Amino acid sequence: MLWVGKMDFRKQLALALQTMAAIGDNKFRLHIVGGGDAAFYQQMAEGLGIALVLACGLLAGCTVETQEEKADSGSNQYYLYYVNKEETKVVKERYWPEQESAEFMLKDLAGILNAQEGNGENLALLPTGVQLETYRLNESLLELEFSSEYSEISRTREILVRAGVARTFLQIPGITGIKIFIGKEEVFYELDGVGDKCFFAGTAEDSQCIIF
């Protein structure tokens, strides 16, 4: 099967991948020709068990850079995320981990998140009283379990918290998806007027809520 077009959200390639996964026929192989965020869709396809062939060079160039290649080039950049004082956007500052292993960064970033310290005029990502109680890493999918106070966050602030949490943990090497829980209950998000479960996938700066 051939897909020709730019790989971005407007083209609904994610929907095409989900449809192929629902069909469940492993004989299908999707060939993609086009520019855009190849790494995101490659990770999504792998998570859904879809054979994906990228032929980016035939149109506007795109590249897929592995974690190892990024490390070799010294281009890895990590960030801590905050909410601005007006609570209208997520802001970031550079973060230099002592180790770039997933185990270290996961523990370190979880501790920083729970410390609830702001940065200058910016607010801590988590409101007072909200804690990340535990986390579970199932291969490349990270499950984050927050305290019951998470459910009391205002709708506007929760959107910012959700975005900041996704960006915080998706930058960790090897983590390609995130699910958010309040206690043992998975959080539902209203998409197109309907409450759905989803996981966050993509890159720290370009994550999307994927319905499953």
Residue 19 tokens, joined: 């449809």
- Helical H segments across the chain, by residue range: 13-23, 38-48, 67-73, 102-115, 155-170
Q: Indicate the pTM of the whole model.
A: 0.59
Distance CA 85, CA 130 (A): 18
pLDDT band at 205 (very low <50, low <70, confident <90, very high): low
Give the model's confidence band at 112: pLDDT under 50 very low, under 70 low, under 90 confident, else very high.
Answer: very high
Please identify which residue in the block is written with the tokens 């720290």. Answer: 204
Average pLDDT over residues 80-98: 94
Residue 173 to residue 170: CA distance in whole angstroms: 8
- What's the pLDDT score for residue 139? 84
Confidence (pLDDT) at 196: 46
- Confidence class for position 201, pLDDT limits 50, 70, 90: low
Quote the pLDDT of residue 30: 65
Residue 212 token pair: 């499953």
The pLDDT confidence band at residue 151, using thresholds 50, 70 and 90, is very high
Q: Which of 58-62, 71-75, 135-139 has the lowest mean pLDDT?
A: 58-62
